[in-house]
Every structure is written in C-alpha cells, then in structure tokens.
Structure 1
Amino acid sequence: MKEIIFINSHPIQYFAPLYKYLNEHGVKTKAWYGSDESIKGGMDKQFGAEVKWDIPLLQGYEYEFFKNYSWKPSHFNGFFGLISLGMIKRLFSMPKSVIIVHGWHYFSHLIVLLTGSALGHTICLRCEMPQNQEMLKTGWKQSLKKLGLKYLLFPRINYFLNIGTQNRLFYKSYGIDDKKIIFCPYSVDNDRFGAERASYAPKLQEIRTSMGIAEIDKVILYSGKYITKKRPLDLLKAYIKLNKPNCWLLMVGEGELRADMEVLIKEHGLNKVILTGFINQSKISEFYAISDVFVMCSTIGETWGLSINEAMNFDLPLVVSDQTGSAGDLVKEGVNGYTFETANVDELAVKLNKLLYQQQLSWSITSQQIVNEYSYATIARNMAQITG
C-alpha cells in the first residue's frame, strides 16, 4: 500500500483530525506544510484578531514543515506567499507515494502538481471549486485560468477528489472521466462533535440562562468571520424583519464588518443580538448546543462552509444561501432546512419564520443522518481505490 502525503499551506483545524483518523484506521498518512503560522498563533487578517487554535493540530500523524523561500512569506499573501522548494527536491528522492494537494493557489502546490506524476507519484487534486460559482466568473483572467487547467494542469492529475456535488460538476465541466473522480467529502470531526453534543445535553438551560436566554426563546446561530464574503449584515437585516420578541441572534465570530454590525444593532435597539468575538474550537460546541437553527448567508467564495457540518452534528435545521458551496448537498429543501436566494434578505426572513414559528419541516431525514455520510470514515473508505 502506498503512503499518502497531504500537502497543505499550514495546519488546518478541520484537516489535522482527518490525518490522525486515517492513521488510526490503517491508512498511513503524512502531511507537508509550507507555513507554521497557525501553530505559532498571531493576527488572522480576516478575523482581525489574534488566533491560536486550541485543539491539537500536530497529533496522531507524521508531519514536516518546509522552508519558505518567499520574499513575502505567509499563506495570507497569495500565490507567491508559499515557495517551498524543498518539497520538489523531496519528490525526486522518496518512494513512489500518493500525493494529495489542496488546490493550486500557491507556487509550492502548483509546482508539485505539475511535476509529481512525471516522477512516478500518484498525484491527486483536492480543490474546493464549486461549478455554480465558476459559472458566474467572467473576464480574461478566468478564460486564461480555464485554458491553463484544461491543457496544462489537469492532464497531469491522476485522481480528482471531489468534496461535494458542485465540485464534481466543476471537474466534469473539463471532461474528467468518472473513473478519475473520487468522492472525498469535506468533513469535520463528527466523533468529537457527537461526544460534545452528548456532554452538553444535561446543561443546555443552564448555559442559556447564563446568557439571559429563556427556555421558551428561539436562538438563531451564525458562526463565521464578519467579512464581506459571508454577508453577516444580511442576517442582521433579516432578523430585524423577522421582528420576534422572544428570538435571539448569536453571531459567533469576528472581523472587519463588526463596526457596521454594531451600528445596525444600535440603530434598531437589538438587545437580543450577541456578537461573541472569536470563539475557539474547544468552546464552539456550546453555541451549537443551545441553538434552534443555523444560518449561513455567504456569497461567491464560500466554496463549502464547514461550520454547517459542525451544526449538523447537533441536528440543527439549516437556512443556507444558494451560493454556498455545500447548499445542494447538506440542505434537503423542506426536510432539514431551506435555501434562499443569496442576498435576498426578505426571503431569508421568510424562511426563518417558516422554520422557527411555523415548523414547516418534514424531518424525513435529519441533519445528523445527512452529515454522517460526510465523514472521515467515508474518506478512508473511498481512498482505498487509490492506495490499494
């Protein structure tokens, strides 16, 4: 069985537990990183806050950090922010392996994708690109990208690991054969979140009371950065239109739009809206546990939305914008939630009202049942096609 090496920009809180899981279940896995910024901690430019993740990011698997030769070193600094030439050198000397590269958006990643298969390695691409977002992009840069992918990059890839339906459609739009596309869904650590859901179950009202939330009150939850891509102001405006006295809005996150959100909250006297600031992974489950619905209202650039997976582990119903990459996979319309037209605040308010106050969901399949398939176990099972 060939060894698997994942290539990432930096240790990521959603990916590191996957590598640990794979090793624990007999799939020899390593990770190569171009940056250790998430380990050292520091200013996250989008959160606008100091961030250091408080779950283990380097446990249960082998890893290596490679020297970055960039003149502007950071995974926040675009394509030339990561230039890890040592990765290329290593490809020449190591045994033939399965190399899984997360996207082509850094110099290091692209050069591995372009050279790896020529050296006898099995090269796999796991990108996030959803086809419904790609179709909205125009201009000469987009045309140039399409040519580069079709004629330069994709012919050098052995397998394409799709994270969901729209990502699969993206690969199919380039004529990729079905046999080369393998479902490796975007997932979170379902086991951890399941255990945390159970641990919080006896103390839900205690937590609510500590925040001033009554037992009969409804709680809408948002979890994400306060940035333009995620459109948090849309949810605030929809909440105002909903206009229910016993309804709370918890907005877990931080970012550059906080000031605009605070202005809107003050103008409308919204005393049941809480902007939490940055909440780390060890504390996030508390907010999922006490909520009644999870909302994501993102636009183009939200290629999946893994906080939706987290919320589904608490069996929360969903209201998700139609441009969010995972909407078609994780939201079963009228069953475990609703989608709405991105940026349509009126429709978002209507869908929240239907879900919270009219209870118009069939629940013929639950959020928990759906997300069970978007799991590390599914990834391990499907990757056997590559490593076997």
Structure 2
Amino acid sequence: MLIKLAILLTHPVQYFAPVFRELAQQPNLQLKVFFGCNHGVIPSEDPNFGVVFQWDCQPTAGFEHEFLSHNSLEDLKGLRGIRLATKAFNTISSYQPDAILIFAYSPTFITASTLLLYLAGYKLMLRAETTDEALSRSYIKDKIRQLFLSFYYRQFTHFFPIGTNSINHYLRMGVDKSRMTLAHYAIDIEFFQKQVDFWLPQRGALRANAGIGKQDHVLIYCGKMFPPKNPLIISDALENLSPLEKEKTWFIAVGDGELREEFERRIKVQLDERAIFVGFKNQLKLGQYYAMADTLILPSQSGETWGLVVNEALQFGLRVIVSDKVGCAKDLITDVKHGWIFSCSNFFELAKIISQEIMQTKLKNRELESLPNPSKLATNVYVQLIA
C-alpha cells in the first residue's frame, strides 16, 4: 500500500534536507515537501547575520518539493501569511496526502495552514523546536502561551520532540507521552564527514600557517553575533584568564551580525593577533575552522532551542562549552568527555572552564567518535507513525 506524506514548512533548511531525502527513498512512501517560500535557495538576506547568502549544500535536492511563493520570510507573517495559508491548503489538498507532517507552529502562515488542514480532517503530526527554556516570559505571557498551545496541539495526532526540553514542554502543555516519539535535532553526518576527512588531516598545517603552536588552545565561536547568542560574555571570561593562559589561547570567530564590531574589538583587546574573525562562512567552508579548533563555545542567553553548531563541533572531535540556555545541553553534553555547561550570565564560571581546557590541551589527543546517522534515525521515527 502506497502512503502519501506531505511535509509543510516555511522555507528550505539545510539540516532537514537529509531527512527528506531518506524519506523519499522509503519503499511504499510517496513524499512531497511544500515550502512557504524559497528563502536561502536564492540569495537572501538574514537579518541577524546581516549578510546576503545562499546555501551551498543543496537543501532541496533529492526529494519532490514545491514552493508556494517566492516571497520573503516576512511575508509569511500577519495577513499575508493567512492569504498564503489558503493557497497552501488548496495545493496540499490537491496532492491528497494520507498524512501531513508540519515543521513548526509559527509564523501565521504555518498556524493558519494547520487550522485549515485540521478542519478538513487531515491526519496531522508536528515536529517543532518547542521548549519553555529558550526565552524568559512574564507569568501572564506564559499563561496566554500555554492556553494557546494547549488548544493548538489538539489538532495533532502525534508529536516528534527534538530533545529533553521539548519533551518537558509538551508534557506541560498536556500532551500525553504516548503521543510522542523522540527525533533528535541533528546535522547531515555524511555531509560533514566529508569535511572531517578532508580538513582534519590538514589540522597541523592549517594551525601552523596561522601561527598557532602545537600546545596552544584554540577556542571557536560559530554563529550569529547578536544579543540572544550572548557572544560578549566570552571577552569577559578571557579577561579573567592569567597572562600565561592568554598567551596559549587563540580564538576563531565564524559569523557576523550587529555585535561583530564590538565583539571583535573586545576579543582583540584580550588576545591581540591571536583573535581571528573570518566573517560569515557557508556550509562547505566551515570544516577548516573546526579542524583548527579545540573547543567550541556557545554562550546563548535566549532563543537557542537546540544549537546545531554543537553537533557539528562534536563530529570534528571538539569538546564544547555551552550555556544552560542551549537546548541541546541536556541531550549532548552528558559528561566532561563532551564538554561543560555553565550559567549563561556567569563569566567567572566560563573563565574557569576555559582555564581547565587550556591545561588539558597539554595532556590530551583529540579522538573522533563515530556518531549515528541522524537522517536514518529521524526517518525511522517519522515513518513508523505515518501508516
């Protein structure tokens, strides 16, 4: 029996593509992905990076898909989002799916599309970046959100939480655990393994060309440079290192955003020429910087529902330092073998951890661990609930 599955989401996301490709190869399953817009496939501006970019990893290759519009992400909100939801409903209905997997519960385009599809009697499943810990809310706002989501979730037959925080969120919203199947947020292991295989053998040469000594410790920050990511706390932590520790510390920053200028200035006050800021880099160019590094720092203070750079860094054999506001912390940072968790506002704690890592650099040799293919894991948990 052939099962027809429709997937609805706002725009192509590079991390979802391997899951969709795996689903498209499943026997007895016909898949079609419906995107609200083509952000990221064509040159698009990211307001937080502050740059125009286009993904270089083919986020729509290998599966049947359709763009419902060629609008911007902003056009998926408000009244324009509602109008596009009507088109989404009609287009998906014409496809006549047996089930619909929806990625996210916002913006308006997704919310309205979900309501229309539910009223038409379709079997709906939800995979969203749900958490109660990424943002701080007032008591009143939290209660309003809880009432809305408790009602909204009644439209779905099954849920795919992305991690521990996500499970706890659904439980708090009244979703029974029997209606959940864990589908960890993951990267394209095969895509990044090619970079691991190419760049890691060049680690020594890359570091030597940059002037990095064999016993020096290289910290890396990879992401948007704006307030929710809390990057400036790193400079506060470095200020509390001893002069000897600073002499052995390098810092690589990959990314851009509104705090770029201040972030770079403050880090260079502490590390001088040992601070390397390379700007925004696309997926195919990330590997060389991970290969040069020893430890990733992700100090987010809000909005970090998961933190996929942690997955990327772990695949390159790095240890990671994450704040307690990073969604993946409870799932991926299970012991000091993988890294540490610190309070997002405590730069003294962060400095202490960095000091420990600098000391251990002299004693350890990094070893890569084989990680399960997240595409296959996600495929298994999605497929078993469709029929």
Do Structure 1 and Structure 2 share a fold, with TM-score over 0.5? yes
In 2, distance between residues paired with 1:96 and 1:23? 14
In the alignment, what sits opposite 1:158?
Answer: 157
In the alignment, what sits opposite 2:255?
Answer: 253
In the alignment, what sits opposite 2:37?
Answer: 35
**Do the aligned partners of 2:183 and 2:381 also contact (CA within 8 Å) in 1?**
yes
More displaced stretch, 108-117 vs 51-60: 108-117
In the alignment, what sits opposite 1:7?
Answer: 8
CA displacement at 1:381 relative to structure 2: 1.3
TM-score by length of 2: 0.90
**Do the aligned partners of 1:331 and 1:339 also contact (CA within 8 Å) in 2?**
yes
In the alignment, what sits opposite 1:46?
Answer: 48
Cα distance per residue 1:21-77 (max 9 Å; x no partner): 322344543211111121111322111112111111221001101137xxxx52146
Cα distance per residue 1:219-274 (max 9 Å; x no partner): 11110010111111111222232342021110110000012113314544622111
Is 1:233 matched up with 2:235? no
In the alignment, what sits opposite 1:75?
Answer: 73
What aligned pairs does 1:1-388 form with structure 2 within 5 A after superposition? 1-26=2-27, 27-67=29-69, 73-76=71-74, 79-80=77-78, 82-83=81-82, 84=84, 85-133=86-134, 136-151=136-151, 153-243=152-242, 244=245, 245-268=247-270, 270-358=272-360, 368=369, 371-372=371-372, 375-388=374-387
CA displacement at 1:82 relative to structure 2: 3.5
**Do the aligned partners of 2:5 and 2:97 also contact (CA within 8 Å) in 1?**
no
In 2, distance between residues paired with 1:259 and 1:362? 34
> SS at the partner of 1:4?
strand
Letter of the structure 1 residue corresponding to residue 196 of structure 2? R
**Do the aligned partners of 1:355 and 1:361 also contact (CA within 8 Å) in 2?**
no
Letter of the structure 1 residue corresponding to residue 372 of structure 2? N
> SS at the partner of 1:295?
strand
CA displacement at 1:361 relative to structure 2: 11
Aligned length: 378
Unaligned stretches of 5+ in structure 2? none
In 2, distance between residues paired with 1:138 and 1:210? 50
Residues 347 and 201 of structure 1, relative CA distance in 2, 3 Å threshold:
same
**Do the aligned partners of 1:319 and 1:338 also contact (CA within 8 Å) in 2?**
yes
In 2, distance between residues paired with 1:339 and 1:39? 35
> SS at the partner of 1:168?
helix
**Do the aligned partners of 1:88 and 1:111 also contact (CA within 8 Å) in 2?**
no
CA displacement at 1:313 relative to structure 2: 0.9
CA displacement at 1:358 relative to structure 2: 3.8
> SS at the partner of 2:40?
helix
Identical counterparts, % of pairs: 27
In 1, distance between residues paired with 2:76 and 2:6? 23
TM-align CA RMSD: 2.4
Residues 359 and 202 of structure 1, relative CA distance in 2, 3 Å threshold:
closer
**Do the aligned partners of 1:53 and 1:281 also contact (CA within 8 Å) in 2?**
yes
**Do the aligned partners of 1:337 and 1:355 also contact (CA within 8 Å) in 2?**
no
> SS at the partner of 1:38?
coil
CA displacement at 1:125 relative to structure 2: 1.4
In 1, distance between residues paired with 2:292 and 2:319? 13
More displaced stretch, 313-322 vs 138-147: 138-147
**Do the aligned partners of 2:226 and 2:258 also contact (CA within 8 Å) in 1?**
yes
In 2, distance between residues paired with 1:93 and 1:30? 12
